[in-house]
Structure 1
Amino acid sequence: MTAYFIYRQMAPFGSSSLLTVDLGQQYIDFFAYMRRALLHDPSSIFYSFANGLGGEMLGTWAYYLLSPLNWILLLCPGASLTTGVFFLTVIKYGLAGLAFAWVLLKTTQQSGLKAITFATAYALMGWSVANQLNIMWLDAAYLLPLVFYGLYVLMHTGKWRTYVIWLAISLIVNYYMAYMICLFMILTFIYLAVDRYTNFRGFLAQAGRFAWTSITAGLLSAVVLLPTWWSLTQSKAQYTVTTFKWKFEFFPPKMLAKFFLGAFNFDQMPDGTANLFIGAIALLGALFYFGDRKIALRTRITAGIITAFLALSLCLQPLDLLWHAGQFPVWYPYRFSFIVSFWLIWLAAQTLTDDFEPGWLSIALVTIIVVAGAAYVALNLKSFKFLQMNQVLLGMFFVVMALILTTLPIKHHWIYPFLFFVIGVTEISANAFTSLNNISYVSQGEYGNYTNELQRLVNKVQKKDTSAYRIGKTFMRTKGDAFQTGFNGGGVFSSVLPKAVPTFYGNTGSPDGDGFVAYTNGTLVTDSLLNMKYYFQQKELSGALSGSSMLPAMSNKADLADYTKIGADHWATTYKNPYALPLGYAASPQILSLKNKTADPAQYQANWLAALTGNSADSKLYAAQNFDQVTFANINQQTKITGAVLQKKNLLKPGSITLTMKPTTNDPYYLTFGSTVNPDNATFVLNGKTLNQYKTYRNTILVSVADHAKGKTIKLTITLKKGSLWLENFTLYSLNTNVFKSAVAQLKSQPWRLTKHSSRYFSGQMTTTKAGEVLNTSIPYSQGWHATVNGKAAKTYKTIDMFTAVKLPKGKSTVTLTYWPPLLNLGLLISGLTLIVLTGGWWLSHRRH
């Protein structure tokens, strides 16, 4: 794999990188955060304001970052992080092969080149190649054989330490994949118990040992599992499927196509069948296992039942949900198929020993099965867009070679293990190279240049201003840019994102999804209330460099005209927001009882501000406006624009609508776009330039179109990409600047003056002039935040289902907010006591012996 990556010029050996899909859009940002947290900002280990608007981090650590191999990344600062990813990937491939080979040496008769062949088949199985970009899952590939070996030792000798230690490590390193390993250990226990069955009493003793050792491993890892479980209750667990149908997700024989080499491409990532490639030798060996008479019949029957269960899990909806903890995967389906591959290769290693001599009946049956499977795939090749006939023929060539090799009586000749190795490793390597050639990657320059420029911009601001604030920007490489370069931002892409966060973004007019939020559509109001004190905007380059900015524009922000320009370089301009509120300030108690009663983000923002000031007039902050002129080209005339359905007159010709206005004030103007008014359905040109906008949004968003434009003509042209377009929630609003400034001035007059602050600690003084006022913060609410007022514990309150507030007495108060992860103390106690009991028991036993 190292040779292949060098050939593909992956950093540090060329201009490309291993970054692709989620690795380039999500995980690389978490790796940058991990480095910064461990080396420069330990307070952000538990909580980070780069996590959207702020969020707990133990769930992120548990899912993405607890692999001990990640410490390699500490040696790779800045743009060289891609080099660390290179070494991390090849080391995980290597460890998977090493662990499997070691298990084979301990549990089977395999050794030498044959063991290496099986180990390579496992390390480079189709699952590993397809999920190479999901780098945090690759730890499961080397941990599974070690946990399996631990259970094997437990069942054969009664010694428990190997099993408990490796299972606990698996649960700590990645609880998600470890959950799948735990399910497989139940199947493995059944298989080994039947294989070693002597009497029912002995079986019960084995079952008891298996139960208490598994529970012990869970108790040892409670320090991670309990806080993570709490984190999941706020995020991923809220999407758990509670109803399902007993149905096949596809025609089961379709999965046979994935046994051919190169059966993978980009389209298989979001929605495909399981990645099952293990090579012809391992596949034939697994089939021959069931006819191998040197293995007890009851053992083979049990193995057959387990294999059938695993096969059904790859296509039957309830079993698929079981393996994925009750949730349909978003992209990367059948994530547990590494377990199926492990099982099949291990069965093959049990059978293809030096004394293996298959009977003619076994050879005939295996040949018929393989030929029938290949014929089905070849005859239905049009259904498998990831597969071509030359791949089917090449696959059959390796099957024929493997069949000849495994059935001829030459197993004691020196040439046999050599041919075994050459045929097996050649096919496995060819699959890896062919599959990965189907994927495109982010160039080192695209990642490094962007990261370095954003880091320069952030460093300049942070050097001058050390207070608590957030930074917005009109460009984006990933939604985790704040993690990458170490600032308090507003976007994040995470599988453990609390459900309340995307709900809030959807309410306020910014893009959101179940696992992401993007603060690309901030208004003067949200920028102020969310403490967005600084803004970066990309420059529009002209001449030969036109359109070549390395800072990809993601929003149109005309209202930056209200902000103060404080700096610029070749690529970007930095602005300071004069209306940015502090992290906390005194607000009306009305904010504690505000409930959302509108789907209009403009009205939501106005209601939010009015509840903070206690002034009902502030709820009229936005006013709907009419366009001065609307013209239609090849589209049926409409008398009302909002909610209209535009339809082309002639489907073969372009259809567009042009809306024109001339503002009568210098107030900011915003348009609302419903979810149907998106770049997939239409193109948007504002004043002759493409309207920059993040593409994915499921709720109504607010788009800044004009500011300080009194008397200027503003023209928006919408060109349909399809036959019709529903202008859902399409409305023009103006913001009353005077009302807004007055409200901001009121809230600024009683700030929370911080004397100390870190990622998980804030302390400062503030003065309230009215009884009942509250300290309102833009810190997302969590049970982990603990408040004290004048040294006494105080209750925290949730405002607008999102932020933290504290009730205050009249007068001067010292308020402190401290974050500590829920259930972490209980987890530490349980893990600590379990470790003490185990260590003490071992010491007493050792001393007695």
Structure 2
Amino acid sequence: MQVRKRRWALSRRQLTLWGAFLVPFILMTGYFIYRQMAPFGTSSLLTVDLGQQYIDFFAYLRRAILHDPSSIFYSFSNGIGGEMLGTWSYYLLSPLNWLLLLCPGTSLTTGVFLLTVFKYGLAGLSFAWLLEKTTQQRGFKAIMFATAYALMGWSVANQLNVMWLDAAYLLPLIFYGLYQLMHTGKWRTYVIWLTLMLVVNYYMAYMICLFMVLAFCWLAVDRFSTWRHFGKQAGKFVLASAISGLLSAFILLPTWWSLSQSKAQYTVTTFKWHFDFFPPKMLAKFFLGAFNFDQMPDGTANLFIGAIALLGSLFYFSDRRIKLRTRIASGILTAFLALSLCFQPLDLLWHAGQFPVWYPYRFSFIVSFWLIWLAAQTLTADFQPGWLAISLVTLIVIAGSAYVGINLAKFKFLTLNQLLLGLLFVILALALITLPIKHHWIYPLTFLVIGVTEVTANAFISLNNISYVSQSEYGNYTNELQRLVNRVQKRDHGFYRIGKTFLRTKGDAFQTGYNGGGVFSSVLPKAVPTFFGNIGNPDGDGFVEYSNGTLVTDSLLNMKYYFQQNQLAGALSGTSILPASSNKADLADYQKISSDHWATTYKNQYALPMGYAANQQILTLKNKTADPTQYQANWLAALTGNSQDKQLYTAENFDQVTFQNINQQTKITGAVLQKKNLLKPGKITLTFTPTTNDAYYFTFGSTVNPDNATFILNGKTLNQYKTYRNTILVSAADHAKGHQQKVTIQLSKGSLWLDNFTLYRLNTPRFQAAINQLKTQPWHLTTHTSRYFKGTITSKHAGQVLNTSIPYSQGWHATVNGHAVKTYKTIGMFTAVKLPKGNSTVTLAYWPPLLNVGLLISGGTFIILLGGWWFSRRHQ
């Protein structure tokens, strides 16, 4: 009989764990099938950053592992080139990402589907495991709490931030490790799971580590016996946490270096001691469906956990079965978490000193975990609240609901129906919790049905507020771009970059595997957007996009090929699977080499090689001008050593300017255009007739953008990437001698400041002479990969340098004729090496800074732990 009973207990436990995994897994799979997500329909899970950023990194992951291991450490798809360990440690180290290897090409969206539903399921499984190990919750009730955790508001709202969802299933395991450490002194479980979290995603791991400090304090109060015992516990906690840090040093140290070049440079050093909003506003987020698109960039924390868990967490504080000191400590910890959701200094603390760009209060999954954990401890079969507790909880619920109801108009993400439905579940939950009979089998089943129904309704309502990219929109674009890239790479096996005049995402180069000029990444080095802004291309703190290249920058950045979308005629006029992002009239200077239905490929005969001999003036150039035309000219002049190249661009006048419903202006550049009648359209028309076949460019200041005006060039809308914060260069005309060019600016608002709006002419013959000079001494590459270059070069004069378009990094190491030499940074961006006179063999190899130190620390720590374990076993 005892054997049978033990088998039954084991079987029941397995059923609970399987149920905890399958319920959220099946619920979300069912919802996605209902929304026709690939592979079950024509839509996809791609939305916002998942569709504009992460999907490109996933494509890169597959290519790096399966086809190009050299790009694991460095990739020229990362903007114009960048280290990749920071990208891996933030976006790509989830162990579940191996599923993506099964999904080639555009079926990558199916991989995203699998990642998402598996992470929901694992979150439920790990929370159920925690409950099995630390509480009396079993069966249906444990499954309900696990599902409430897996489908909490944070998980639903951040499902698109799929790399954060690993934190949801690892947090319960780390917490259990800490719980075990405090109760038994065993630290192995804590170290294993915390180390995995630190490796998988350092950002979310930071938040969990902060919570572990708070949880240790809470558990120390709960388990306190003597100060000596407390000291031993604190020592074990600090030591175990340090061991996890040392074991993960191989990824943390190079990541720290990467962050020091990027995100760390944006850390807030001053802040205000104030509340971000009136704290009771958070109460609205406890109602189901309290989420929409507007909450992503700037909303309150996502706190939904379901009525049962919420009421259970309130009843916890009246549960006399729990020690008073423990409940007081729980109250203090809960208050600290609540303050963190609205008090700016604490909010910054959780986000490592940086205000989140979109997705505020990213740590709220910890708050939800804590509240559900409190509820699970209290809502056991033998819990029966007293009338005082019931009255207090009821009053709190009534007061909170009344506040939300009275201010319902202020909560755009909440409707009256959602409020009433939420109150219905509160009433059902309150009745369920206070019911005196809890031992009948119907009770836990009812518990499960009510709880799961509510969290499912929340997911349904919340996600119905979000739109997604169709599978065809993603697939058609990606397939066409891949065809274009493959065609070029098949004919040219050298090293070069590719530009294009259309865009789906700034990570298109990652998606289809070419060396490009754009990227959207949270670990983008600060020097990169600074450089892009200097040369007249769109940039931001986390992105760059090479949409506004000129003949000069195309040449200096090795943009050897260009793709341009075709203008379709007839019934298809104005439609394309390749959405235009820039106007590039200067493609007239390039050679057309191929074309298909959707796009034409050009070859840039002016493109310089990866490296070439240049004047040593480039090493001392201080290019501080804010004018992108002058910046480019100064850059080229320093390379050639010819001061006349500084006059590469010339400002040109317009032939005629006419105003319609706008006050007359005598000067265009810097003018403020003001509508006379705000109710009527206002526009300004400018004409110029090129007197040469040179390339002409406009400069647009940050206010001269598509949000403030519509720009029409020769009767066609001027295509331009919308977001830029510095002056950009826009290609206006080329090979148009004697042909009048007409530019119309239609105001979208009452006024427009023509900030840095100027017409420039490039002296093309002078530009060609300068490029031809630099081409005479190329770096002939004999070997090249993503992180290694070797080639020969001849320096005709003493003091010349090998100038490259490889972004400078401490990770690049150079040798000249077998001897290690110093690398130099040019214009704050690129890598150069001094050359001796004559023939030289030069190599450049990349290895991530601090990676060797990290490997040594992690390996040494692991060996010490292994030795200690072996010695202990041998001793026993």
Q: TM-score range by the shorter chain?
A: over 0.9
Is 1:516 paired with 2:516? no
TM-fit CA distance, 1:496? 0.1
Aligned to 1:265: 292
Distance 1:414 1:826 in 2: 58
Distance 2:338 2:825 in 1: 47
Distance 1:258 1:847 in 2: 56
Q: Secondary structure at the match of 2:294?
A: helix
Question: What does residue range 349-498 of structure 1 map to in structure 2 within 5 Å?
Answer: 349-498=376-525
Question: What does residue range 622-661 of structure 1 map to in structure 2 within 5 Å?
Answer: 622-661=649-688
TM-fit CA distance, 1:86? 0.3
* Residues 683-732 of structure 1, C-alpha deviations (whole Å, 9 max, x = no match): 00100100000000000000001000001110010000111000000000
Is 1:83 paired with 2:110? yes
Letter matched to residue 525 of structure 2? P
Distance 2:469 2:776 in 1: 48
Alignment equivalent of 1:701, drawn from 723, 728, 737: 728
Aligned to 1:151: 178
Question: What does residue range 231-630 of structure 1 map to in structure 2 within 5 Å?
Answer: 231-630=258-657
Distance 1:380 1:842 in 2: 60
* Residues 225-279 of structure 1, C-alpha deviations (whole Å, 9 max, x = no match): 0000000000000000011111000000001000000000000000000000000
TM-fit CA distance, 1:848? 1.4
Is 1:812 paired with 2:839? yes
* Residues 389-434 of structure 1, C-alpha deviations (whole Å, 9 max, x = no match): 1111110100000000000111111111011001100000000010
TM-fit CA distance, 1:597? 2.4
Distance 1:323 1:824 in 2: 27
Distance 1:463 1:825 in 2: 36
Structure 1 residues not aligned, in runs of 5+: none
Q: Secondary structure at the match of 2:705?
A: coil
Distance 2:167 2:51 in 1: 21
Q: Secondary structure at the match of 2:576?
A: coil
Aligned to 1:190: 217
TM-fit CA distance, 1:74? 0.3
Letter matched to residue 689 of structure 2? K
Aligned to 2:697: 670
Distance 1:787 1:702 in 2: 34
Q: Secondary structure at the match of 1:266?
A: coil
Distance 2:234 2:678 in 1: 69
Aligned to 1:793: 820
Distance 2:151 2:870 in 1: 41
Aligned to 1:134: 161
Alignment equivalent of 1:784, drawn from 802, 811, 815: 811
Distance 1:89 1:790 in 2: 51
Distance 1:212 1:662 in 2: 75
TM-fit CA distance, 1:382? 1.2
Is 1:686 paired with 2:716? no
State the superposition RMSD in angstroms: 0.4
Sequence identity, in percent? 81
Q: Secondary structure at the match of 2:803?
A: strand
Alignment equivalent of 1:748, drawn from 767, 772, 775: 775
Distance 1:154 1:547 in 2: 65
Letter matched to residue 571 of structure 1? W
Distance 2:723 2:191 in 1: 45
TM-fit CA distance, 1:547? 1.5
Distance 2:67 2:695 in 1: 40
Distance 1:593 1:2 in 2: 59
Distance 2:113 2:191 in 1: 31
Distance 1:485 1:525 in 2: 26
* Residues 704-763 of structure 1, C-alpha deviations (whole Å, 9 max, x = no match): 010000011100100001110000000000000110000000000000000000000000
Aligned to 1:33: 60
* Residues 109-163 of structure 1, C-alpha deviations (whole Å, 9 max, x = no match): 0000000000000000000000000000000000000000000111111111100
Distance 1:688 1:211 in 2: 69
TM-score by length of 1: 1.00
TM-fit CA distance, 1:436? 0.3
TM-fit CA distance, 1:506? 0.3
Q: Number of residue pairs matched?
A: 849
Distance 1:8 1:676 in 2: 40
Q: Secondary structure at the match of 2:458?
A: helix
Question: What does residue range 35-114 of structure 1 map to in structure 2 within 5 Å?
Answer: 35-114=62-141
Distance 2:67 2:619 in 1: 37
Is 1:14 paired with 2:41? yes
Aligned to 1:208: 235
Distance 2:468 2:532 in 1: 30
Letter matched to residue 545 of structure 1? L
Distance 1:386 1:595 in 2: 51
Q: Secondary structure at the match of 1:138?
A: helix
Distance 1:114 1:541 in 2: 60
Q: Secondary structure at the match of 1:269?
A: helix
Distance 2:573 2:396 in 1: 60
Letter matched to residue 578 of structure 1? Q
Q: Secondary structure at the match of 1:372?
A: helix
* Residues 648-703 of structure 1, C-alpha deviations (whole Å, 9 max, x = no match): 11111000000001111000000000000001100001001000000000000000
Runs of 4+ with deviation above 6 angstroms:
none
TM-fit CA distance, 1:826? 0.2
* Residues 483-523 of structure 1, C-alpha deviations (whole Å, 9 max, x = no match): 00000000000000000000000000000000000000000
TM-fit CA distance, 1:187? 0.8
TM-fit CA distance, 1:578? 0.5
Letter matched to residue 580 of structure 2? A
Distance 2:715 2:849 in 1: 52
Q: Secondary structure at the match of 2:499?
A: strand
TM-fit CA distance, 1:354? 0.3
TM-fit CA distance, 1:843? 1.1
Distance 1:670 1:826 in 2: 49
Letter matched to residue 330 of structure 2? A
Aligned to 2:20: none
Letter matched to residue 373 of structure 1? G
Letter matched to residue 747 of structure 1? L
Q: Secondary structure at the match of 1:270?
A: helix
Letter matched to residue 317 of structure 1? Q
Distance 2:693 2:437 in 1: 89
TM-fit CA distance, 1:381? 0.7
Structure 2 residues not aligned, in runs of 5+: 1-27
Letter matched to residue 706 of structure 2? P
